[in-house]
Amino acid sequence: MTDASRLGADEATFVAAVRAGDSTRFALLTERHRRELQVHCYRMLANYEDAQDMTQETLLRAWNKRESFKGHAALRTWLYRIATNACLDFLEKRNDRTPVPSGLPDPGSEVRYLQPYPDRMLPEDPQESVVARETIELAFIVAVQHLPPRQRAVFILRDVLGWPASKAAEALELTVASVTSAVQRARVTMREQLPDRRLDWRSPATHELSNDERGAVRSYIDAHERNDLDRLVSLLRDDLRFAMLPEPGTLIMTAKDAVDGWVSSGLFQRGYDDWRGITTTVNRMPAAALYLRAPDDPEYRLFAIAVLRVAEGKVAELTGFDARDKPWLGLSPTL
């Protein structure tokens, strides 16, 4: 189908731009999809900076392959196909993009290359499936990393984006039977990785934080600013799961042991006791951006971001990330 009258408006304009070699119109049409393609690459790779790189690679490949677009599929579908295969090529070359043993007493693994995704970079007017909260939260992103790359791609296309099996098979150059088998295996792994979570990702999703989540992050910041260790202990569950990336080691501990461990490592001691914080969100989750003022420094400087999973009013999981030298987080470097 090459008759422009039979194509959608974007597709017809795209075909015309390709025929004319119009790089400006090409860029305008493909740029509209950048943010959702970047979310797709992030689900595949769990790393914001890698997702940025692969999105740029996708747009470059699209330009180089522009003559192959005949309008048989929507422009958006064609770009997703290119993005998926760019991520698969990336994963094939990297041996550091698989979960590693966590060291926990119970079987588990961790994703040391995990980075948070700033909500400000999510699509402004997305399709619901693109940024449903349940499919962008850290736990989901980590769980997806336990799938082999091609199985991961099938799962995201079928169960997250809602593509039919035939469309996913064509994008990945697989048979429909292979796609069906792969997504069934993926669902088993996801149930194992997210045993307490809702697994129907195509039903209506939540976007907004709950009152409990807002209250917990405000209290977490207040406890830091006041150096109120008792209050901090009271905010944490006694089966807290804690990780500070990119440092290795995910720990499950009581609230008191967690705070005692932070104190023994130097937090809330001189030089690490003058905090300010602001409430933010990443991965559609509540987060505290923590700023530290060193002695004799007139300014508070961005130090870390703590992403919280709140259950029944208490922090059940706390994933910390070094926030320094990460301008893409969109946070002010100083307060």
For tokens 């040391």, the residue is 112
Q: Which of 9-18, 32-41, 195-204, 323-332 shows the lowest per-residue confidence on average (mean pLDDT)?
A: 195-204
The per-residue pLDDT for 71 is 77
pLDDT at 129 over 70: no
The percentage of the chain sitting over the pLDDT mark of 70, rounded to a whole number, equals 90
The per-residue pLDDT for 175 is 97
pLDDT band at 127 (very low <50, low <70, confident <90, very high): low
The per-residue pLDDT for 3 is 38
For residue 65, count CB atoms less than 10 angstroms from its CB and return exposed for 0-12, middle for 13-18, buried for 19 or more: exposed
Q: What is the tens place of the pLDDT at every residue in 295-322? A: 999 999 999 999 999 999 999 999 999 9
Mean pLDDT of all residues in 201-209: 65
Q: Which residue has the higher pLDDT, 26 or 329?
A: 329
Q: What is the tens place of the pLDDT at every residue in 45-92? A: 999 999 999 999 999 999 999 988 887 788 999 999 999 999 999 999
Mean pLDDT of all residues in 113-126: 87
Position 254: which residue type? Answer: T
Torsions phi, psi for 164 (to 5 deg): -65, 160
The per-residue pLDDT for 102 is 65
Average pLDDT along the chain: 89
Q: Please report the DSSP string for 90-153 in residue order.
A: HHHH-SS-S-EE---SSS-EE-TT----BGGGS-SS--HHHH-GGGTSHHHHHHHTTS-HHHHH
Mean pLDDT of all residues in 144-158: 96
Mean pLDDT of all residues in 17-33: 88
pTM score, two decimals? Answer: 0.91
Pairing of strands 109-110, 100-101: antiparallel
Task: Supply 193's token pair.
Answer: 């990785």
109: three-class secondary structure by DSSP: strand
Contact 123, 312 (CB under 8 A): no
Mean pLDDT of all residues in 127-146: 84
pLDDT at 29 over 50: yes
Cα separation, 107 vs 144, in Å, equals 17
